[in-house]
Amino acid sequence: CQRAGMSRRTFYDLYEHRDACFMDTLRKAFGRLLTHVEEAVGAAGPAWEDRAVAATQALVGALDADRVLARLCVVSAVGGGDEAVAVRRDALNRIVTLIGDVPGSGAPPELVLAGALGGVWELVHCRLTDEPDASLADLGEVAAYLMLAPFAGRRRAAALAGQGST
């Protein structure tokens, strides 16, 4: 309250308790993050590969540009209880939906895409917790590769992700 320049009374007029404030802040943070991803995917065009790369680059770029947003969405959401985890899951599902139809594979493609996005999320989480001051920008190509490889194959995924031949 002191850092925000408000009295405790004003705080409790706005929020029932600290967890309510956290959840409100978390929802707004994920809303900001999704706005970045939605704009990028909207500009990417109809090809799912382009949408996947745009979503991944926008996600990593927004988290790299705003470390408070990154820590809140990626690190704090995991330890914030069931409600926070549900907000996180909803946001990730929204990104999967934005990327849209992907080619079929042996498993349901939306589950494979959700798993790939979970891998991207884990890369970012590890960087934020293991190297808090390190840039996330270098994760962009690897993250895009992870999103594409289950569907496009290694070589095509590497080329589309900007990594050249792998």
138: Cα within 13 Å, side-chain hemisphere: 5
Q: Is the dihedral of CA 77, 81, 84, 85 positive or negative?
A: positive
- Taking the C-alpha atoms of residue 48 and residue 27, their distance in angstroms, rounded to an integer, is 27
Q: Is the pLDDT of residue 166 over 70?
A: no
Q: Is the dihedral of CA 128, 131, 137, 141 positive or negative?
A: negative
pLDDT tens for each residue of 87-138: 999 999 999 999 988 776 566 788 888 899 999 999 999 999 999 999 999 9
Q: What pLDDT, on the 0 to 100 scale, is given for residue 164?
A: 44
Q: What pLDDT, on the 0 to 100 scale, is given for residue 15?
A: 62
- Residue-wise over 138-153: b if at least 16 C-beta within 10 A, else e? ebbbbbbbbbbbbbbe
- Taking the C-alpha atoms of residue 27 and residue 6, their distance in angstroms, rounded to an integer, is 21
What is the mean pLDDT of the segment spanning 77-85?
88
What is the mean pLDDT of the segment spanning 130-157?
91
Instruction: Show the CA angle centred on residue 123, arms to residues 86 and 127, nearest 5°.
Output: 105
pLDDT tens for each residue of 21-56: 788 889 999 999 999 999 999 999 899 999 999 999
Answer for the pair 162, 141: CB distance below 8 angstroms, yes or no: yes
SS3 content of the chain, % helix, strand, coil (to 5): 75, 0, 25
Strand, coil or helix: what is 15? coil
- Taking the C-alpha atoms of residue 65 and residue 73, their distance in angstroms, rounded to an integer, is 13
In 3D, which of 49, 8, 4, 23 has the Cα closest to residue 149?
49
Q: Is the pLDDT of residue 163 over 70?
A: no
pTM as predicted: 0.85
